[in-house]
Amino acid sequence: MAPLDIVQIPVLSDNYVYLAHDTASGATLVVDPAVAAPVVAAAEARGWRLTHILNTHHHGDHTGANLELKAAHGLTIVGAGHDAARIPGIDVRVGDGDSYDFAGHRAQVMAVPGHTTGHIAYYFADSDALFCGDTLFALGCGRVFEGTMDQMWRSLSALRALPDDTRVYCAHEYTQANARFALSVDGDNPALVQRAAEIDSLRAAGRPTVPSALGEEKRTNPFLRADDPALAAAVGLAAADPVAVFAEVRGLKDRF
Ligand code: ZN
Ligand code: FE
């Protein structure tokens, strides 16, 4: 079976909505529709039929068009059963360890609490695609609004365990600002220095920095490296528990 055909749609100031299309059946899913019009336009331009919504979490910039798209196109909405009360129009409730079959493509559902308590991620191994919402960003991670630092570190560690060639389809273009912060805590990391320069050239050319490769995130994203002794030392917490290092780095970023 051919991998999913994935299209990235920039909306609002810095959100990405994704279409993932199965060529054999013509089914098309939308990940985190913040708004409807650009999503419908992108599907129509390709002659694709919208059939499903996958939500990662309840925030309005991820679920804003759920009801409008469902009313207009009869979409099936998939979201966290744990957070069903906050996912507008939810039809299919999924949770950690579930697989969801989309037109023969198996999505592995991972609970990744921290940004919100009900945040989930969808990993399509057959397409090397991870839809991780606001949990993992290119060179960053989401703010910890509802969960604990311990939960967020465990969530990021679970995502980190996926293969290096996984493409990280995160929900925001925050990478350039994330790079500036990352350099402030991990500026001696040559892979990070090189990546930050590449990000600057991409943005100068008006190009997206998303998706990134998970292997690159493992080498350069400080929020995936809280158990690296060099990073712990860089934030003055040599030999500390990774959760303490993660919490320190997250706190530094919140105040950056
Ligand atoms: Zn969010
Ligand atoms: Fe968001």
Which of 135, 91, 128 has its CA nearest to residue 111? 135
pLDDT for residue 162: 98
Distance in Å, CA 239 to ligand 2 centroid: 33
CATH superfamily of 5-170: Ribonuclease Z/Hydroxyacylglutathione hydrolase-like (3.60.15.10)
Please tell me the distance from the alpha carbon of residue 112 to that of residue 135, in angstroms, as a whole number. 7
Instruction: Calculate ∠ Cα 78-81-82, nearest 5°.
Output: 140
Q: Where in the chain is the domain with CATH 3.60.15.10?
A: 5-170
Catalytic residue among 21, 52, 58, 59: 59
**Would strands 167-170 and 129-133 be described as parallel, antiparallel, or unpaired?**
parallel
Per the annotation, the verdict on 21 as an active-site residue is no
CA of residue 14 to ligand 2 center, whole Å: 9
CA 158 to chain centre: 13
* Listed residue (8, 5, 33) closest to 20, CA to CA: 5
Mean pLDDT (the chain) is 98
Distance CA 204, CA 206 (A): 5
Count CB-CB contacts under 10 A for residue 122. Answer: 25
Name the one residue in this structure whose structure tokens are 């744990």. Answer: 82
Catalytic hit among 22, 32, 172, 186:
172
Of the residues 21, 52, 58, 62, which is catalytic?
A: 62
pLDDT at 1: 85
Query: Shortest CA distance to 56 belongs to which of 139, 11, 115, 98?
Result: 115
Instruction: Please give the order of strands across the beta sheet that includes 212-213.
Output: 99-102, 105-111, 120-124, 129-133, 167-170, 212-213
Return phi, psi of residue 217, to 5°.
-60, -40
Task: Provide the residue type at 100 as one letter.
Answer: Y
Looking at residue 159, its pLDDT comes to 98
Residues with CB under 5 A from ligand 1 (ion): 59, 134
Three-class secondary structure assignment of 185-252 = HHCCCHHHHHHHHHHHHHHHCCCCCCCEEHHHHHHHCHHHCCCCHHHHHHCCCCCCCHHHHHHHHHHH
Q: How far apart are CA 33 and CA 52, in angstroms?
A: 11
Q: Give the chain's residues under pLDDT 70.
A: none
Q: pLDDT at position 151, please?
A: 98
Cβ neighbours of residue 64 closer than 8 Å, sequence gap 6 or more: 33, 34, 35
